[in-house]
Structure 1
Amino acid sequence: MEEQWLINQTKEPPDWFIEVVKQYNPTFKKYYGAQLLWQRGIRTISQLDSFINFHSYQPASPWEFGQEIRLAVRRLQSAYKNQDKVTIWGDFDADGITSTAVLWDGLGQFFTQKNNLTYYIPNRLTESHGLNYLGIDKLAQENCQLIVTCDTGSTNINEIIYAKARGIDVIVTDHHTLPESRPPVTAIVNPRYLSQDHPLYHLSGVGVVYKLIEAMYETLPSIPKQPIEDLLDLVAIGLIADLVQLSGDCRYLAQFGIQKLLEDFKKNRKQDEDLEWEDY
């Protein structure tokens, strides 16, 4: 059966909304921008302001993931206290790589990198996506006690059971399709458990792990030495590369991260210019 486009009926924005939109751009002469915003459900001054200016947006708390993120933080606290060996299980696409990097830098504030914190990215050609038995065996031999997945793992039921049998707990962070019932994990943080209109629902893997790191920063605030905002450049790259819907927290994190990328670019360019002058 041939698919057909379903075109929404055009909805005309009221005059007051057109005038408010014009205030953001004095040269704005036609109403099409206002109409597009109105069609997208942006129909109040506060919604418009937070859409255009990310500093006005109030991001959702990581604790809105509910009991699952509390279970994840509790296990990570225990790992920190007992100096367990933690492995980040990543993925090989852009979202998976940036998710791995965010966990590496974020959890690296709590665990010693390369000692208590390592990472594992499956070989695309020989292992494919998700958890696998050979990788779990390798980590068990290295005395791994906790796996934290990113951008993967929600439906790897058999592999999760196998990891548990090898003495490895599993925290799943993911945004892909959920299994029919909760997997036998220590915790599963996945926005698909939320309602579709929730501001966290469309997060990609990198957004989910950022929220997990945010929860860790709030739980153990005296430990991190680097501001969590330093991770947002990676978050923006992963969100945009994964083509998620840029609304709610997705849009906020992407805008914030792009701003961070621009600041880093300007800073690095100035350093390069200063070095060039020193050559003279």
Structure 2
Amino acid sequence: MLNQRVMRHWQLPTSASPSQLRSLGEYHPLLAAILWNRGWRDAAAVEQFLNIDWKQRHDPFLLRDMDRAVERIKHAVEQKQRVVVYGDFDTDGVTGVTLLMQLFKAFDLPVRPYIPKREGEGYGLNLAAIEKLHQEGLDLLVTVDCGISNIAEISRANELGFDTIVLDHHQPPANLPPAYAVVDPKRSDCAYPFKGLCGVGVAFKLYEALWRAGIQPNNLRARDILDVVALGTIADMMPLTGENRVLVHFGLQAMNESQRPGLKALLRVAAVEQGKIDASSVGFRLSPRINAAGRLVDARIAYSLLLAPDQAQADGFADQLNSTNIERQALTRDVQQAARELAQNSGQLDQRILVIVGEDFHHGVVGLAAGKLAEEFARPVLVMGKEEDRSRGSARSIPGFNIVNALAECADLFEKYGGHAAAAGFTIANEHIPELEQRLQAIANQQITDAMMVPQLPIDAEATFDQLNLEMLAVLEKMAPFGLENQQPRFCSRRVTVIEARGVGAENQHLRLRLQQGRHYQTAIGFNLGDWLAELHNGSQIDIVYTVGINEWNGRSSVQLTLVDLRLSEGQR
């Protein structure tokens, strides 16, 4: 349980006039109000957003170098060349490798996967792997979810005589690697209209480009690989807007109908029912188990699960991943608590950015701990696991502060680094850590304002309990799939009465409430809000922010509120 309560600023919605809401189209007033408050003003754009169509995808050849990638793969297919697919060890990388392996096997090419181990190899291409693959015999190397920063490694591949195609989505460096083709929507010279694809998304666009060019794999349809596209896109926390919204929408359909043994096994251990898979269950139940392999042991277990040929093998891999995920959860809690104590005891909480170094922090979970602490303390956090000569760490940021740009200003201190505006990873010699902290503090003092360190909680609409019913949920479902940049709608209800409050969970870390407003009652669950239990009693009046979902029990469906935040109503504080 957190040691301090984060006070968030509730951003209440403004009221739109009936004529403004009607200008969006003939929609339920609550749905129209949510869309209006989220900035939607164009009726045609709203129509396209709510009515997802497979035709809303973009031409894959708008991606820079996609024509070269297709040309090179066509040559490999014609010559039956030896191919290696090299991917990252997170869910995006693993699903990208899975998709490309299915693609190249459908072309009947001699192909093998290569997923580096976090321990010993780290993120991205490495020279030892390049040398090893050359010795094994290799004509074409295709990277997915990595490669954009590996100039030295790809230069060595060129010297050894094999070509490289980079499929990536990370921010490119000033100088691109000398690969045969570099396909990355974030290239400054790339005109692709949607920049939010993840690695497996870029791999899927390669599949589409090959089809359009008449280079069609045998018996491999889009629906056969869209399940892993959805899994990787959601797990990598890509925006569920634009083309990702299309890919995930149809990918979730594919997951709910998939006969992939590995997916069925994963659903079993995660207690998710096929047919009811949504973005939330993928993000919170499925992807953590896939990610756990690369964090603690070997991501190839997750890859083997997704391409398991039969149910018996798939079940064995799924059980391994489930056990690893339980271990990952415990390690994350331990590192988070230890890092919190280091920050508190060192007086760092007065700083605008936290740089925390632990002697025995497992590098596989430092990013998760950093994310939890960034949310808890409302400021960017770097957490590092210190080794003999160097430290490996992860950074997580807050809205408005681009963490990878901040690291770029300290690039001379790192052995390697990379990432996004909100998250990054790096390796640094221990002797450089004090200077890194000093420089980052100076950057943070210039760029992070007091207001940025007050977490904002946008609220989509105010609601009363009489409005909360299954019919309303059906209306809201038109906005799904929910995720980054298209969050599940948040509602606010004021002056609701606590009828019953109790703690749930092994340490009562969660809060379950029975609430009343007028003649209407609702149940609510608040994850990690158990510290409120001491302040609530029967009859307490509270204001709540929540999302609305369905609770199914004994064949009956009812509305359940999931609390995001709460506070005592005015007059009771």
Q: Shared fold by TM > 0.5?
A: yes
Counterpart CA distance in 2 for 1:107 and 1:213 is: 10
Q: 1:91 aligns with which of 64, 88, 92?
A: 88
The structure where strand makes up a greater share of residues is 2
Q: 1:39: Cα distance to partner?
A: 4.5
For residue 274 of structure 1, what is the aligned residue in structure 2? none
1:54 aligned counterpart, secondary structure:
coil
TM-score normalised by L of structure 2: 0.41
Q: 1:52 to 1:167 in 2, by over 3 A?
A: same
Q: 1:74 aligns with which of 71, 76, 88?
A: 71
Q: 1:34: Cα distance to partner?
A: 2.4
Higher CA-based Rg:
2
Counterpart CA distance in 2 for 1:128 and 1:222 is: 35
TM-score normalised by L of structure 1: 0.81
Counterpart CA distance in 2 for 1:212 and 1:7 is: 43
Return 239-248 or 50-59, whichever deviates more.
50-59
Q: 1:58 aligns with which of 56, 60, 68?
A: 56
Q: 1:223 to 1:236 in 2, by over 3 A?
A: closer
2:219 aligned counterpart, secondary structure:
coil
- Which amino acid in the other structure matches residue 236 of structure 1? A
Counterpart CA distance in 1 for 2:192 and 2:67 is: 19
Counterpart CA distance in 2 for 1:199 and 1:247 is: 12
Q: 1:39 to 1:159 in 2, by over 3 A?
A: farther
The unaligned stretches of length 5 or more in structure 2 are 1-7, 259-273, 276-573
Cα pair 1:154 1:188 within 8 Å, conserved: yes
For residue 260 of structure 1, what is the aligned residue in structure 2? 254
What CA deviation, in whole Å up to 9, does each residue of 1:24-65 have, x standing for no partner? Answer: 5xxx454xx424323544333332232222227511110110
For residue 108 of structure 1, what is the aligned residue in structure 2? 105
Return 241-250 or 175-184, whichever deviates more.
175-184
Residue pairs, 1:105-254, within 5 angstroms: 105-112=102-109, 116-193=110-187, 199-254=193-248
Cα pair 1:99 1:209 within 8 Å, conserved: yes
Q: 1:164: Cα distance to partner?
A: 0.9
Return 87-96 or 194-203, whichever deviates more.
194-203
For residue 42 of structure 2, what is the aligned residue in structure 1? 44
Q: 1:16 to 1:211 in 2, by over 3 A?
A: farther
1:229 aligned counterpart, secondary structure:
helix
Q: Name the count of aligned residue pairs.
A: 254
Cα pair 1:85 1:144 within 8 Å, conserved: yes
Return 93-102 or 217-226, whichever deviates more.
217-226
Q: 1:62 to 1:197 in 2, by over 3 A?
A: closer
Q: 1:186 to 1:232 in 2, by over 3 A?
A: same
Q: Percent identity?
A: 35
Q: 1:177: Cα distance to partner?
A: 1.7
Higher relative contact order structure (alpha carbons within 8 Å, sequence separation ≥ 6) = 1
Could you say what the CA RMSD is over the residues aligned between the two structures, in angstroms? 2.9
Residue pairs, 1:9-24, within 5 angstroms: 15-16=18-19, 18-19=21-22, 23-24=26-27
Q: 1:223 to 1:50 in 2, by over 3 A?
A: same
- Which amino acid in the other structure matches residue 230 of structure 1? D
- Which amino acid in the other structure matches residue 254 of structure 1? V
Q: 1:216: Cα distance to partner?
A: 1.0
The unaligned stretches of length 5 or more in structure 1 are 267-280
Counterpart CA distance in 1 for 2:55 and 2:188 is: 20
